[in-house]
Amino acid sequence: MENQTKTKSILARSSPRIKRTAVDAADSGHPLTSGLRNHQNPNEQSQKRQKYTMPENRTVMKCYYNSEPEKRGYQKRMHQLWKQEYPDSQITEPRLADQRRFIIRNKVFSEVELEEIQKICKANYHQTTAQTAAETPATLGMVEQIEPEESVELLQEFDEPALETPVEPPGTLTARQQELKDKIMAHAAANAIRQRLPTLKTVPKRHLAPLMKDVNAALSTVQITSIEQTNQYAYSAAVIVTEELGLLQPRQPQRKSTGKPKWKVRLELKIKKLRSDASNLKNMKEKKLKNDKIKQYLIRKYWLNTRKIEEALEIVKEQITATARKIERYEARIIQYRQNQLFQSDQRRFYQSLNQTTDTVTIKPEKTATTKFWKELWENNKNYNKNAGWIKEFEGKFSQNKMEQMEITTEMISKRVQKVKNWTSPGSDQLHGFWLKHLISLHGKMAQQFNEMLQKGSISEWLTTGRTYLIQKDPAKGAAPGNYRPITCLPTMFKLLTGMIADRIQDYLEEKNILPDEQKGNKRKSRGTKDQLLIDKMILENCKSRKANLHMTWIDYKKAFDSLPHSWIIKCLDAIGISKNVGTFIENMMEHWKTELFVGNESYGLVNIRRGIFQGDSLSPLLFIIAMIPLSTILQKTNLGYQTSKNSHKISHLMYMDDLKLYGKTKTEIQSLTNTVRIFSTDINMEFGLDKCSTVALKKGKIIESEGINMPNGQTIKCHQPEAYKYLGILQLDNIKHEHVKTVVSKEYTQRVRKILKSKLNGGNTIKAINTWAMPVIRYTAGIINWTQMELDNLDRKTRKLMTIHQSLHPRSDVDRLYLPRRSGGRGLLQVKQAVKEEEHALAEYVKQSEEPALIEVKNQKLLKAQQTKNQYKKATLQTRADSWHNKTLHGKFLDKIEGKADKEKTWLWLTNGTLKKETEGLILAAQEQAIRTNAIKAKIEKSADDPKCRLCKEADETIDHLLSCCKKIAQTDYKQRHNCVAQMIHWNLCIKYHLPAAKNWWDHKPAKVVENEHAKILWDFRIQTDKVLEHNTPDITVVEKNKVWIIDVAIPGDSHIDEKQQEKLSRYQDLKIELQRLWQKPVQVVPVVMGTLGAVPKDLSRHLETIDIDKITICQLQKATLLGSARIIRKYITQS
C-alpha cells in the first residue's frame, strides 16, 4: 500500500524547468506550502514553511489573469507581476504556478470570487501589461528564444531546494498534449483491469500520426522509475489513443445471446404471419374458413371487397418469397462485412474459418487431467548427466571464446522494435507490439530499465508469466491432454527484451562461427528448411546416379521443446562463452518462468516451467539450438557420413530445430550415428518418439529390406517400408515422391482457391488471399519437386477457370493483365508458373553465392539450372506481360484512350484499394478490355450478328463507350443517377466543412436546394438569376462564402474525353462566372469535377478538389461511385455471354 501511495505521488509531480502555457498545465493536486512573506535564508525557509494568506492567494490569481495565460511563457510573466507586489519574495516561477493550481483545485475562491478577480484584471489589463513589459529584464526576454535544453540550464540556477514531493518535468506542451497527458496519468493512476484493445489496422495514417506525436510529447514529460510504470503508461496511452479514435467500446455486462438479431426475428415473424394468412385465404377460397373474425380481418387487410381472393393469395405468396430473399440478402451482406473485417484484422483466423477449424475446441479436455499432464512435464525439473565424458570435450572446444558484457541502448530498442509484429496476440499485459513500436518517447526509459535488469540479473515476475493456449493437434485423437500443442502469449516488453538478447547472442555465435552448418533452425541468411531439402535431394539423387549404398534414419524427439532441462541450457551458454550478465539474467529468468493454461477462454490454472522452453518469443528457439550444438559437434567428430564423391565433404546429419536426419554409408555407420544421438539425448534427459522414427537402407541406389536399428537399451527403430516418411513436409523414402507430392499439393492448392472464391471477400482481398494462403502451398515445393511447364500451366488454367465459375473473372478478359500488379492496372494475382520459377531463380542465386560445403555440392550437382537472378526474371516477365497487354487491339484499347490525358497512378486507385466486389471488379476490367459482347463486337469482331447499332437509341454503334456515356435514351435516367451520386458526395463533404446539416454517411445524404448559415450558402442544382440571358446558368453545386464563390459542376464522360470535358466545363461557365463577379461583387472560380465512366482520372482533378477543400471524400471513393453506376448500366442492358 505504501508503494502504491509513493508511486501515485511520483506520478502527480511537476517539474519547474520547461515553460508551458496555462491552458496546457494540469492541476497537480498537491498544496504548495512554501513560505512567501518571510525573507529568510532559503535553507531555513525549506525547514520552516508557512501557508499563503487569503490576500496572497488573491494576488496569485491576479498575476495569473494578467499574465496572458493562453500564450506560452505565462509563468515568467506571472512571476514578474508577483515580484512587483512582493519584491523580496524568494518563490520561483513553477512554485507560483503550482499555488495557482492548488487554489483552483481546492476551490479556495468560489467561482463568483474568481469571476470578480478576472473582471478587475480585465479592466486594467492593457495598463498592467505595459508596466510589466517595461519592468521585465532584457535577459528574461532572451530566454524565450533559447531551445528547451538551454532553458533548463538557465533556470536551474534559480531553483530552490526540492519539495518533499518532487514534481515531474512538464515540458513545453500544447493544450492538446496536456489534455492527453492528464488522461493518460488518470488512467494509469486508476490501475483498472486490462482488456484486449482493438487493432488500428483500418485507421488512416493521417489521423493516427498527429495523435501519436502528441501522445509521445505528453509521455516525454512524465517521470518513470520502473519497468512496471513504463508498461502501465504504455498501456494507458494505448487506451487513450484508442478512445480518442472512437474505437474503444465500454465493457458491457455479458448477456445471454438470443441467437438471432432483432431484424431477423422481425422478418421471420412477418413470414410466419404471411404464411398463416395464405393458409386462411386458401381455406376461405375453398369455403372451409368458419371463423368470422379471421374473415373480417382478411377482408380488411387484403381489400377483398374489391379484390379477388386469388389475387390476394398471389400477393401474399410473393410477399413471402420477397421477405425470405430479403433475409438472405441481409445475411449475405453481414457475412461479406464480417469476412472482410476479419481478413483485414486477422488473416490466420479467417483462413481457419474457411477450414472450419478455430483455436476453440468443442470438446474440451478434462481440466484436472490436463493440468496434471502439463505440470508433470514442465514442473518436473531434471538435470543433465554431469559425468558424461563428451561434455568436457565440448567445453574445451569453445573455451577461448568470450562474449562481451551486454548493454542495451535506445538505438537497439528502436531497431529491434521494428521487428515486433504490430497486432499479434499480447500476453497478460494486453499490450500489442504496435504501441511499443510507436511510443518512441518510452524507448530511452526502457533502455535504462532493461540495463538495470541485466546488471542486477533480476526480473519482475509479471514479465515472465505467459498465457498458454492449448491447440488441438489431431481431432481424430480426441481430447487427450497429450493431443494439444502449447502456444504461449508473452508480455510484449518481455519479447522485446529477449529479442534484443537473442540478437546479441546470434551476433556472437556468427562472429565466432559457433553455429554448425548442419543446423538451419533460426539461422540468419539461410533458406531454413529449403537448405536441408536441397541437400537431402542432392544426396538421394547422387546415390541413385552413382548406384551407391546409403543408410538413413529419421529421428523424432518426444516433446522436444517441453522436455529440455534448464540446467543443460545454462551449461551450454556458459560453455560457448556467453557473457556473465546475459547468462545470469537468463538463469534467473527461467527460474521465474510460469504460465496460465487456457483452453479456449477457460483458464486451467497456473503452471511453473522448470523444464522446457517457452514457445512464444525469439530467444527460446535460440536457446534450444544452442542446447543442440553439442550433438552436431559429437556427430561431426565421428567422421562418418555420406560422400557424394571420393574427395567431397562428409554429411552425417541434417537438423532443423528438432527434426534430425542421419546419413551413413553402411549399416554399421548408421547404427553408430543413431546410438550416438541416443546417448547424447539420454545424457540431457530427452527421449525419442520411437513411433515417429524410421530408417531405410539403399544398396547400389535401390531400396532393400531392413530389420531396423536395434539399440543397446533394447529399443528398435523400425523400417517403415514401403510407407514413405514426411521429412520437413515433403514425402520421401529412397527418393522424393515427386508425383505423389504434386498430386497432394495441387489438390490442396485448388481446394484453398475454391474456398477463397466461395467466400464473400471483396476483389482486392480475394486476390491477396490466393497469393498468401493458396500460393505458398505450391511455392514451398519449388526447387525441390520437379514441376513441368505443362503441370504449372494446368494449375494456372484451373485457377482462372475457378475464378470464371465464381464470376470473379470474365471468360474473355485479358490473361496477361490478370498477373500484373494492381498499381499498374492489373489484378495482382501471382501466376503459379511465375511463382515457382521465381523461387527456383532465388534458390539458384542463393546456392551459387553460398560457401557452405554441402550447398557447394548442391551447386556442383546442378540441381538448379536458372541463368537469371530472381529480380531479373521477375522484371523481364512483368515487362513482357505489360507490353503484350498494351499491344492487343481490343484489350489494350483503354490504355490508348487515356494515354497523355489521365493520371495513371490515380486511375488505378480503385484497383489498389480493392474494395469492389470481385464480380464487379471483373466486370469493370472486362469493360475496359472491350471483352463485353456488345452489338458492335458481335457484328464487327465475332461476325455473329448483322446490326452493330445500339439496342436502345438505334443511332450509333453499340460500344461500351457509347453505352456508358453517349446513349441519349438513358441520359436522363441512368446517367443522371450516376452523376448525382458523385455530386451528392461532394455536396455532403461541403456541408460537413461549413457545419451545415448533413447525414452521418454520404449515401444517406439528401441535398437540399438551398442550405446556409453564417459561414456559407450552398445551392444544389439551382438556376442562378442574372440580368442577362445565359444558356448555362444551373451548375450542380454553387458555394457562396462571404468573399468568394465556387461554381462546381460534375461530369462523367467516356474515358477518352475527360480532357475535353474538363475544358468544356471551364468554358461553359465562363459567362456565368463573369456575370456573378459583376452582380455579387465577389471573385468566382469554376471547379470542374470530371471522372471517366470506367475510372480514368484527369491530371487536374486532385488540384480541383483541393481548391474546394474536399477532405472527407477521396478520389478513390468518387471512382467507386462512378464504377458502381457504370457496372449497373452494363448489367441492366447487356447480357454477358
- Chain segment 645-673, per-residue pLDDT in tens: 888 889 999 999 989 999 999 988 998 89
Residue percentage of the chain with pLDDT more than 90? 56
Task: Return the pLDDT at 1020.
Answer: 96
Strand partners for 599:
602
1122 SS3 class: helix
Task: Return the pLDDT at 16.
Answer: 38
From residue 589, give the alpha-carbon distance in Å to each of 430, 499, 582, 584. Answer: 21, 14, 10, 8
Residue whose entry in the numeric block shows the C-alpha cell 513589459: 133
347: its cell numbers: 488473416
The string of DSSP letters for 317-350 reads: HHHHHHHHHHHHHHHHHHHHHHHHHHHHH-HHHH
**pLDDT band at residue 156, thresholds of 50, 70 and 90?**
very low
- Dihedral sign, Cα of residue 88, residue 89, residue 93, residue 96: negative
Q: Is the pLDDT of residue 812 over 60?
A: yes
**pLDDT band at residue 446, thresholds of 50, 70 and 90?**
very high
Q: Is the pLDDT of residue 136 over 50?
A: no
Q: Which of 7-21, 605-619, 944-958 has the lowest mean pLDDT?
A: 7-21
Q: Which of 194-203, 629-638, 752-761 has the lowest mean pLDDT?
A: 194-203
**pLDDT band at residue 19, thresholds of 50, 70 and 90?**
very low
First to last CA, the chain: 77
Q: Say if CB 561 and CB 628 are below 8 A apart.
A: no
**pLDDT band at residue 191, thresholds of 50, 70 and 90?**
confident
Model confidence over 731-748: pLDDT tens digits?
Answer: 998 899 999 999 999 999
Q: Is the pLDDT of residue 845 over 50?
A: yes
**pLDDT band at residue 27, thresholds of 50, 70 and 90?**
very low
726: its cell numbers: 514426411
Nearest C-alpha neighbor of 827 from the set 898, 915, 764, 885: 764
C-alpha to C-alpha distance for 148 and 154, rounded to whole angstroms: 10
Q: Say if CB 1038 and CB 999 are below 8 A apart.
A: no
Angle at 149 between CA 144 and CA 152, to 5 degrees: 75
Every domain of the chain with CATH number 3.40.91 lies at: 968-1133
Q: pLDDT: is 568 or 68 the higher one?
A: 568
Looking at residues 192-200, what average pLDDT do you find?
86
Rg (alpha carbons) of the chain, rounded to whole number: 38
Phi, psi of 698 (to 5 degrees): -120, 130
Looking at residues 497-503, what average pLDDT do you find?
93
190 SS3 class: helix
**pLDDT band at residue 530, thresholds of 50, 70 and 90?**
very high
Strand partners for 1045:
1040, 1084
| Cβ atoms within 10 Å of 1081's Cβ, excluding its own | 8
723: its cell numbers: 510407407
Looking at residues 255-259, what average pLDDT do you find?
57
C-alpha to C-alpha distance for 216 and 442, rounded to whole angstroms: 8
Task: Return the pLDDT at 1135.
Answer: 63
Residue whose entry in the numeric block shows the C-alpha cell 518418439: 689
Q: Is the pLDDT of residue 45 over 60?
A: no
The upper half-sphere exposure of residue 189, i.e. CA atoms within 13 Å in the direction of its Cβ, equals: 17
Task: Return the pLDDT at 132.
Answer: 42
Residue type, 828: G
Q: Say if CB 775 and CB 799 are below 8 A apart.
A: no
881: its cell numbers: 506481360
CATH 3.30.70 is the classification of domain 512-565+611-736: yes
Every domain of the chain with CATH number 3.30.70 lies at: 512-565+611-736
From residue 727, give the alpha-carbon distance in Å to each of 473, 660, 736, 1022. Answer: 18, 9, 10, 75
Model confidence over 75-119: pLDDT tens digits?
Answer: 888 888 888 888 888 888 888 888 888 888 776 766 656 766 776
C-alpha to C-alpha distance for 695 and 550, rounded to whole angstroms: 11
Q: Is the pLDDT of residue 361 over 50?
A: no
Residue type, 852: E
Task: Return the pLDDT at 110.
Answer: 65
100: its cell numbers: 495557482
Model confidence over 200-239: pLDDT tens digits?
Answer: 887 888 889 999 999 999 999 998 889 999 999 999 999 9
Looking at residues 505-523, what average pLDDT do you find?
92
CATH 3.40.50 is the classification of domain 968-1133: no
C-alpha to C-alpha distance for 796 and 801, rounded to whole angstroms: 9
Task: Return the pLDDT at 456.
Answer: 83
Q: Say if CB 885 and CB 891 are below 8 A apart.
A: yes
Model confidence over 301-335: pLDDT tens digits?
Answer: 999 888 999 999 999 999 999 999 999 999 999 99
What does DSSP assign to residue 160? P
Q: Say if CB 730 and CB 781 are below 8 A apart.
A: yes
From residue 265, give the alpha-carbon distance in Å to each of 36, 261, 315, 434, 536. Answer: 73, 6, 22, 41, 61
Model confidence over 688-707: pLDDT tens digits?
Answer: 888 889 999 999 989 888 88
Q: Is the pLDDT of residue 38 over 70?
A: no
Nearest C-alpha neighbor of 392 from the set 683, 688, 611: 683
Strand partners for 1089:
1050
Please state, rounded to an integer, the average pLDDT across all residues of the chain.
85
Q: Is the pLDDT of residue 37 over 50?
A: no
Residue percentage of the chain with pLDDT more than 70? 88
Q: Is the pLDDT of residue 160 over 60?
A: no
Task: Return the pLDDT at 111.
Answer: 62
